[in-house]
Amino acid sequence: MSNSLVLSEKEEFIKNIQKWNYIDSQLKEVNEKTKKMRTLKNELGSHICSYWENNPSLKHKIGIGKNEIQMYSKKEYTTLSFTYIESKLKEIIQDENQVDFVIQYLKDKREITTTNELRKIVT
């Protein structure tokens, strides 16, 4: 390999690090704004749904420009955690050793993938 080729690869590496750092910073800003907007949207949604529930005479759909807004009921399930699974298994399996065995088996048999990622450490 020529010296200039090695140098250009190193320069490209450094530029890629700088680009990655810039994009990471931009994403952090966008995510912070998105989080604030999502919180505000959820608060407004709660107020709107509360008003809608307390005023049954309102239409089921409300038109806004080309869009329609509609309230509906949605089921939300808790996460399927090992703590939850263990507590439910204890309801149907009396032998705690068997429950422990099943939980450990599930933990041991989980699919694991390993990838390399970059992380920014703010100093």
Asked if residues 93 and 99 have their Cβ atoms less than 8 Å apart, the reply is yes
Q: Which amino acid is at 84?
A: Y
Helix (H, G, I), strand (E, B) or coil at 106: helix
| Domain residue extents for the chain | 1-73, 77-115
pLDDT of 60 > 90? The answer is no
More confident residue, 7 or 91: 91
What is the predicted pLDDT for the residue at 5? 64
Strand partners, 62: 69
Which residues lie closer than 8 Å to 52 by C-beta, 6 or more apart? 58, 71
Tell me which of 3-12, 41-50, 57-66 is least confident.
Answer: 3-12
